[in-house]
A and B are shown apart, each in its own frame.
Chain A
Amino acid sequence: MSGDHTGTDAAIAAQVRHVEALLEERGLVDPKELDRAMEAFLAKANPDNGARLVARAWLDPAFHHRLLTDASTALTEIGLSMGGGLQEQRLKVVANTPTTHNVIVCTLCSCYPVALLGPSPTWYKSEAYRSRVVRDPRSVLAEFDFHLPPTTTITVWDANAETRFMVIPQRPKNTDNLDEHALANLVTRNGLIGVAPL
C-alpha cells in the first residue's frame, strides 16, 4: 500500500466501500447479511453481560468460586458465552478485595472481553494506556480519578489472543437490600476493566 493512510475520512470511507463492493462481487460478503450480523452483535455484546455475572457472583458464593476457577464454564450458567468476539476465547475472572485491586490491559494490541463488555473504548486501545498501565498503574488510575491507598496491591492482567480477563469490583457498601437486577445496575464497564470504583 502506498502512503495514502493520512487521507481524509471521506477518502478512507470510499476505499472501504470499494473493497466491500469487490468482495460482494466475489461472493464473499453480502451487505445485508453484514448489517444484520453487526446489529445482532452490538445488541448482544455489551457491559450488561459482565454486570450480570458480577451481580450473581456477589449474591452466590458458590457461583463466585466457579467464576474465579473456571469462568468459561460458569458464564454458560447464565446463558452467556465468549463467542461474541471473532472467535471463542478463554476467560479468566479476577476479584478485587479490600487490599488487592486488579486492572486489565492488552499491551500488544486490543484484546478485550468483547462478548461481556461490548466494543472497547478508544483509550483502552491507546498506546498511552497500554504502555503505562503495566509500569505505573497507580498513576494511570489517578488519571481516571481513582485513587487507591498505597497499601493496596495492584495486579495488572495482560490479555492475549487466547485469554481475556474481567474484574469483579468490590460490592458497594449499603447494598444488602438490593436484588440481583438492582446490583447489576451498579456495575459499570470501567469497573469491570478495573479503572473505576463502583
Chain B
Amino acid sequence: MSRINDVGGMHGFPPIEREIEEPPFHADWEAHVFALNRALIGRGVYNLDEFRDAVERLPPQEFLASSYYERWFRALSTLLVEKGVCTAEELTGA
C-alpha cells in the first residue's frame, strides 16, 4: 500500500511555484534541523533509510500540513524517542 509521500503520477496538484534566487534555507532553524540530522546519521543514532521511513510514516494529515523541514524535525524527534535517546516528555520539555 502506498503512503502519503508516494505522489508520482497523482492528479490534481497545481502549477509549480518557483522562488527566484531562493536561499538554501528560509529560516535559521531549518539549517539547524539539516545539521542535526546529518550529525545524528553521522554518529549512527539512526541511518538514512530509517530517517526516510520516519518522514513517510508521519500521520498523513500532519505530513500534508507540515513544511519540508518541519517533516524532517518531526521525523528526527520520532526517532530520538524510538532509539531511546530521550523520552517524549523530555522532547517537548514537559
**Assembled-state Cα–Cα distance A31/B8 (Å):** 38
Q: Do B93 and A18 touch (CB < 8 A)?
A: yes
Please tell me the size bucket of the interface on A: 35 or more
Return chain B residues, CB-CB under 8 Å to A72: none
Partner of A121, one of B11, B19, B31, B93: B19
Q: With CB as the reference atom, state the residue of chain A lying closest to B64.
A: A127
Q: With CB as the reference atom, state the residue of chain A lying closest to B49.
A: A161
Question: Mask for A120-133, Cβ within 8 A of B = 1, else 0?
Answer: 01110111111110
**Assembled-state Cα–Cα distance A174/B49 (Å):** 45
**Assembled-state Cα–Cα distance A165/B85 (Å):** 35
Within A107-126, the residues touching B (CB, 8 Å) are: 107-110, 118-119, 121-123, 125-126
Within A1-44, the residues touching B (CB, 8 Å) are: 1, 3, 5-6, 9, 12-13, 15-20, 22-23, 26, 28-29, 33-35, 37-38, 41-42
Query: By the criterion of a CB under 8 Å from any partner CB, how many residues of chain B are at the interface?
Result: 59
Question: Mask for B51-65, Cβ within 8 A of A = 1, else 0?
Answer: 110011000001001
**Assembled-state Cα–Cα distance A110/B7 (Å):** 12
**Assembled-state Cα–Cα distance A88/B89 (Å):** 35
Return chain B residues, CB-CB under 8 Å to A95: none
Return chain A residues, CB-CB under 8 Å to B55: 109
**Assembled-state Cα–Cα distance A38/B42 (Å):** 13
Return chain A residues, CB-CB under 8 Å to B47: 87
Q: Do B36 and A34 touch (CB < 8 A)?
A: yes
Return chain B residues, CB-CB under 8 Å to A125: 68
Return chain B residues, CB-CB under 8 Å to A161: 48-49, 52
Return chain B residues, CB-CB under 8 Å to A110: 68
4 other contacts beyond A12-B29, A19-B73, A127-B7, with CB at 8 A cut-off? Answer: A17-B29, A87-B47, A121-B18, A122-B22
Tell me if A140 is interfacial: C-beta within 8 Å of chain B: yes
Q: Do B13 and A127 touch (CB < 8 A)?
A: yes
Q: With CB as the reference atom, state the residue of chain A lying closest to B81.
A: A1
Q: With CB as the reference atom, state the residue of chain B lying closest to A38.
A: B35
Q: Do A128 and B17 touch (CB < 8 A)?
A: yes
Question: Mask for A85-118, Cβ within 8 A of B = 1, else 0?
Answer: 0110000000000000000010111100000001
